[in-house]
Chains A and B, each alone.
Chain A
Amino acid sequence: MRARDAELHALVGAYALDAVSEHERARFERHLRGCRQCRDDLHGLREATARLGLAAAVAPRPAAREQTVQAAGRIRQVPPSRYKTGTAWHRTTQPWLARTSMAVAVALVAVAGGLGWHLSTMQDRIATMQHHDAAIAQVLGARDAVTLTASVTTGGSATVVMSHRADELVFTADGLTRLPSSRAYELWLMGPAGDQPVGMLPPESHGMAGPMVVGRLAAGDRLGLTVEPAAGSLRPTSTPIVLVGLGG
């Protein structure tokens, strides 16, 4: 064994205890891929560190349970990995992004209370941010996907690709009129039960705004776009500049 490998190998205990720097963590994980022995050792040591954790168990606040379950309902799950490496299962494809989104979800749940409307908007945004590509692929790939386009009264056009089976749609717009920085486009689900904010349309890039993924469609919903103060509104404060009927 080369000296460098031996040195890395000795790191297995510190790594199992998360007692390494970011840099060493990355280095050791690269080493792990090619070191069967290290993986075996690591698995055993992790069972041991898990027990150190179990020994410290304390009861969470009872209310935390429902908060967590509710937040989970708003988070799209990842599909099984095609690659079972057997080593890096703690790694997710976008660790920092997932971490951020999860923290936001938790923070939102914590402030939920009387802010139900806000929560659902934000959580839609989180879901969008987190699994954008997967969700878009799912909708676009759905067998029952239909595409609707509509003109925006103030300029530009909106495109909706919708799958009832996936219970989701993808919204994009192009050629929208540029707004002053104090204003922004906000997307709404406008249905019999009232207007639900979906979220602020991200600024255009390459002439296209979005895509935004909208889920949990209800019968009679229409998708509307309005111009709102940049921070967003609780309820639409202006007439929709495009309104797309979703059927169903």
Chain B
Amino acid sequence: MTGPVGGQPDRRGRLRRGPDRGRAPAGADAGGNAGSLATMLGLVARGDEAAFRSVYDKAAPAVLGVVRRVVRDPAQSEEVMQEVLLEVWRTAARFDPSAGSATAWIMTMAHRRAVDRVRSEQRAAARELRAAVASIEYDQVVDAVEASLEHERVRRCLAGLTDLQRESVVLAYYGGYTYQQVADLLGVAVGTAKTRMRDGLIRLRDCLGVD
């Protein structure tokens, strides 16, 4: 297990894209091992509550992690995290392994929802004030080893990006900013921010894939 969500197949270079485009099937973590997230989702789709608990255990820390980065406010973040998990429960039957891994499916939902929450929330200042007051009791370190392994791997790969690529990707993903806002923050043209995001992600994908 490479992180709270995901699985062993990450090590096989699912994200690698060689000249022959010979990467593993997109849904590599859908493989036959009984405990995989994709297998679990299949059971969840049939209303299996125990499987849902397993999915929760695997996915909730990562979902909460990304939501916390974007939303900041701990109480709201927990709410969004629960919404995401409930959406997973509700739509598990729609998960399509040929369109990507279960992890990516869930994390895409999580990030999208976090960003939607922030953008619909006009009172950013109020949000941050509340977050500052409330943050302490919610902060807990999870499985330190797993989290830090993944953290370290991602940090290393981020370090391999150009400054502009890295800043664009990080501001967009963890900050929840649009590419126009990122362009403003970095003082570059919008077209530049847009292409740096794409190039940065491609580089990140290749780096993480050849782990």
Contacts and interface: CB of A to CB of B under 8 A. Distances in A.
B14 A98 contact: no
A141 to B, nearest CB: 18
Contacts of A92: 87, 90-91, 94
Interface in B140-156: 140-143, 146-147, 150-151, 153-155
Contacts of A19: 172, 177-179, 182, 197
Given A69-B53, A75-B86, A80 B79 contact: no
B103 A87 contact: no
A86 B139 contact: no
Main SS at interface, chain A: helix
Contact of A89 (B66, B89, B105, B110): B105
A166 to B, nearest CB: 14
A17 B172 contact: yes
Decide if the interface of chain B is mainly helix, strand, loop or mixed. helix
A87 B108 CA distance: 12
B126 interface: no
A53 B81 contact: no
A179 interface: no
A52 B172 CA distance: 11
B78 A13 contact: no
Interface of A: 10-14, 16-21, 39, 43-61, 64-65, 67-69, 71-73, 75-81, 84, 86-87, 89-90, 92, 98-99, 102-103, 105-107, 109-110
Given A46-B100, A84-B98, 6 more contacts: A48-B208, A54-B62, A58-B65, A77-B45, A87-B99, A103-B83
